[in-house]
Amino acid sequence: MSARDDILSNIRRSLGVSGTEAMRRQTVADRLAASPRGVVPQRGQGEPAAQRALFKQMAEAAQASLSEIASYADVPQAVAEYLRANNLPATLKMGDDPRLTDLAWSATALEVSRGRSHGDDLNAVSHAFAGVAESGTLIMASGPDNPTTLNFLPDNHIVVVAAKDIAGDYESVWTRLREHFGKGLMPRTVNMITGPSRSADIEQTLLLGAHGPRRLHIILVGS
C-alpha cells in the first residue's frame, strides 16, 4: 500500500465509510458536474469601470505598481519605461504568448529572450489569464505561453493583463477557466499572485522578494 492509500484508508476508517457507497459517490459526481458557485463577496461586484478601479486599488495596496495603457502596441514602450525608471537592466525574458511575442520589441533597446527561466533572469514579462478585482490578484495559467518559472524566479516580474479580463470575484474566473480549457481540463498550474513576494516570519519584519519577485508591476491594457 502506498502512503497515499494509507492516508485515505485512515480517513475512511475514521469516517466509518468504505468509499464505495453509491449515495456518497453520486453526491460527489453531482457536485463536480454542476460546479456550484461559493459565497461571492459583494465588494467586487459592479460595473466594469468600478471593478478595474478596485483592482488597481487592491493591487497597489498589496505593494504592486500599476500603469495603464490604451493598446497592446504600447506594451513594449511601457515595459522599457518601467525598467529604465527603476534603473533595471534592459533585459527581458518571456514565454511564447503571441499577445507578447508579436509586439514590436525591436523598437525598444530591450534585449528579449524567450523560454522558461533557469533562475538567472532579472526581469520577466508574462500575460495574465485574468485579474480579480476584490483582491487585486492576478490569475496565471501555466504553459509554454507563460511558463510558471517566470512567476517566481526573476527578481522583477511585469504582468500584462487586459482590462476586459478583470473579473469581480474568483468564482467568475473559475467559470472562465472551465470555458476556456474545457470542463475537467485545466492547465497544470493556476497561480494566484497578489503583490510581490513577501514574508514577515522573522521578528515581524517585512521582507520583499522572500520567495519570488521583489517587484511586481502590472500593465493594464485597454479600458
Domain shared by 49 and 14, yes or no:
no
* Residue 86 binned pLDDT confidence (cut-offs 50, 70, 90): very high
Residue 39, domain member (yes or no): no
Residue 71, domain member (yes or no): yes
pLDDT at 192 over 90: yes
The better pLDDT of the pair 31, 129 is held by 129
Domain shared by 101 and 3, yes or no:
no
How do residues 19-76 score in pLDDT, each as one tens digit? 889 999 999 888 888 888 888 889 899 999 999 999 999 999 999 999 999 999 999 9
Average pLDDT over residues 100-127: 96
pLDDT at 203 over 60: no
Q: Please give the mean pLDDT across all residues of the chain.
A: 92
Domain shared by 2 and 56, yes or no:
no
Residue 193, domain member (yes or no): yes
Domain shared by 27 and 57, yes or no:
no
pLDDT at 165: 98
pLDDT at 210: 58
As for how many domains the chain has, the answer is 2
Residue 66, domain member (yes or no): yes
Domain shared by 104 and 177, yes or no:
yes
3-state per-residue secondary structure call for the chain:
CCHHHHHHHHHHHHHCCCCCCHHHHHHHHHHHHHCCCCCCCHHHCCCHHHHHHHHHHHHHHCCCEEEEECCHHHHHHHHHHHHHHCCCCCEEEECCCHHHHCCCHHHCCCEEEECCCCCCCCEEEEECCEEECCCCEEEEECCCCCCCHHHHCCCEEEEEEEHHHEECCHHHHHHHHHHHHCCCCCCCCEEEECCCCEECCCCCCCEECCCCCCEEEEEEECC
Domain shared by 28 and 106, yes or no:
no
pLDDT at 23: 92
pLDDT at 116 over 90: yes
Domain shared by 30 and 76, yes or no:
no
Domain shared by 26 and 49, yes or no:
no
Phi and psi of 196, rounded to 5°?
Answer: -70, 165
Q: What is the CATH number of the domain that holds 140?
A: 3.40.50.10420
pLDDT at 18 over 60: yes
User: How far apart are the C-alpha atoms of 183 and 3, rounded to whole Å?
Assistant: 30
Domain shared by 80 and 30, yes or no:
no
Domain shared by 143 and 203, yes or no:
yes
pTM of the full predicted structure? Answer: 0.85
Domain shared by 29 and 61, yes or no:
no
Domain that holds residue 115: 45-221
Domain shared by 63 and 140, yes or no:
yes
